[in-house]
Amino acid sequence: MNKAVVYRGKGKVEIEDIGYPELILKEGPGVPKSNVGRKCEHGVILKVVTTNICGSDQHMVRGRTTAPEGLALGHEITGEVIEVGRDVEFIKKGDLCSVPFNIACGRCQMCKEQNTHVCLNVNPERPGGAYGYVDMGGWVGGQSEYVMVPYADFQLLKFPDKDLAMEKIMDLTMLSDIFPTGYHGVYSAGVRTGSTVYIAGAGPVGLAAAHSAQLLGASTVIVGDLNEDRLKQARSFGCETVNLRQHDNLGEQIDQILGEPVVDCAVDAVGFEASGHGEGGGEQPAIVLNTIMDVTRVAGKLGIPGLYVTEDPGASDEDSKVGSLKVRFGLGWAKAHTFVTGQTPAMQYNRDLMKAILSGKAQIAKAVNATLINLDEAPHGYQDFDSGVAKKFVIDPHGSVKQ
């Protein structure tokens, strides 16, 4: 058996047996026809040690994408190698590894340039692939007991000391996605020693971005959100915060903190399901992009790891349904802003961030309030996460993690 978290329509996930994985991509929900039967002797089978619920998963579960029912979810995966394909040379049985959420072949032009988030060979529909995610190649998700990982020699980040890794597994599990994603947001925004930075969103990615900004030497990290519990979590590790439900003028709040109404750089850790500021603002998918342009100084950079989609069937207007938003691009142009968008190339960062965790420099689990649950509790975890709790849920399918 291989129990997994499976999407069963808007607002619903269930625990089902999806069958033990093999080193081949079989026909199934979301698998493009041209990917069916793809042999993966370059892959491995992992026994999943930890796998996390991500805000990106929530977009699908809320019905805000074209994800098909029956899709096994999960792209944040850490596991032990229990089966090795014929063509795998360097990864061995027993290795404990982090799996980058980007699926990448290591052979195409994009991979050779370290743009593993837009690999040209893993998804016949468009560049870039991921586990358990809509329109990303049909690769089976890893919120499960076991999962197949292709291109293992290239992709897997092996932990050098297995015992030490298990001691720090609640931190290391964040290397598959949110820690590199948060770091990418602030790094691409140009955060350096002394920077002032505004981060929109106090969910797990926003909190990871805030902690990353501190690691990079920011002098002041300001986090904005509508959820006071999540803002309290940001304050727990030294961030300034702005409750945007209570204050609809962000510039004024930044002025009170910094003595000027602008920051050096900003990060969008919210994405397309953004809500307007103040009471009863309603959904405004461009509000974060327009706001961070407004509060970022001239010639500043904007890191945009928050998710934006090309198809949103739940959008309130026809333009937004195809990802066309009312962004004040003229403002960004006039201020000579740099925009960095797209999925995070996790492999650019995960090894260095692993070393920061193992040395004790990075405390990412504490920053995002990592909370352990078992696989059967995952549907309830999805409900709690959707309600806005200030937690990052980590699923332990086999009871491997000691607390």
- pLDDT score at 30: 95
- pLDDT score at 277: 92
Q: Which residues sit opposite 392 in a β-bridge? A: 370
Token output for 41: 């002797």
CA angle 52, 58, 63 (to 5 degrees): 150
- Are both 241 and 106 inside the same structural domain? no
- 401, part of any domain: no
- Are both 77 and 106 inside the same structural domain? yes
- 168, part of any domain: yes
- 64, part of any domain: yes
- Are both 256 and 170 inside the same structural domain? no
- 156, part of any domain: yes
To the nearest whole percent, how much of the chain has pLDDT over 90? Answer: 96
- The H or E element that residue 294 is part of is helix 287-295
- Over residues 234-265, the pLDDT tens digits come to 999 999 999 999 998 999 999 999 999 999 99
- Over residues 73-129, the pLDDT tens digits come to 999 999 999 999 999 999 999 999 999 999 999 999 999 999 999 999 999 999 999
350-355: list long-range contacts, CB under 8 Å, 24+ apart: 350/98, 350/100, 350/157, 350/175, 350/176, 350/179, 350/180, 351/157, 353/175, 353/179, 353/180, 353/183, 354/98, 354/157, 354/159, 354/172, 354/175
- Range of the structural domain that residue 227 is part of: 181-341
- pLDDT score at 137: 97
| Distance separating alpha carbons of residues 216 and 187, to the nearest angstrom | 8
- For residue 113, give every residue at least 6 positions away whose Cβ sits within 8 Å of its Cβ, in sequence order, or none: none
Helices 204-215 and 178-188: crossing angle in degrees, nearest 10, is 60
- Are both 157 and 22 inside the same structural domain? yes
- 218, part of any domain: yes
Q: In this structure, what CATH number is given to the domain that contains residue 55?
A: 3.90.180.10
- 62, part of any domain: yes
Q: What is the dihedral of CA 154, 159, 162, 166, to 10 degrees?
A: -120
How far is residue 279 from each of residues 28, 202, 244, 247, 275, measured CA to CA in Å? Answer: 43, 18, 9, 9, 10
Does residue 166 have a pLDDT over 80? yes
- Are both 257 and 376 inside the same structural domain? no
- pLDDT score at 103: 98
Give the chain's radius of gyration (CA, Å).
20
- 19, part of any domain: yes
- Are both 186 and 281 inside the same structural domain? yes
- pLDDT score at 139: 98
Alpha helices by DSSP H, 6-123: 55-61, 109-112
- Are both 30 and 79 inside the same structural domain? yes
How far is residue 12 from each of residues 6, 70, 249, 273, measured CA to CA in Å? Answer: 9, 11, 36, 19
Distance of alpha carbon 282 from the chain centroid = 24
Structural domain count, the chain:
2
> Among positive and negative, which fits the CA dihedral 27, 33, 38, 44?
negative
Distance of alpha carbon 92 from the chain centroid = 27
230: helix, coil or strand? helix
Q: In this structure, what CATH number is given to the domain that contains residue 233?
A: 3.40.50.720
- Are both 164 and 85 inside the same structural domain? yes
Please say which residue of 324, 341, 358 terminates a domain: 341
- Over residues 349-398, the pLDDT tens digits come to 999 999 999 999 999 999 999 999 999 999 999 999 999 999 999 999 99
- Are both 332 and 372 inside the same structural domain? no
340 phi and psi, to 5 degrees? -120, 115
What average pLDDT does the structure give for the chain? 97
Identify the DSSP state of 176: G
- Are both 104 and 189 inside the same structural domain? no
Cβ atoms of 30 and 11 within 8 Å: the answer is no
- Over residues 333-360, the pLDDT tens digits come to 999 999 999 999 999 999 999 999 999 9
- Are both 27 and 169 inside the same structural domain? yes
| Distance separating alpha carbons of residues 146 and 81, to the nearest angstrom | 10
- Are both 322 and 362 inside the same structural domain? no
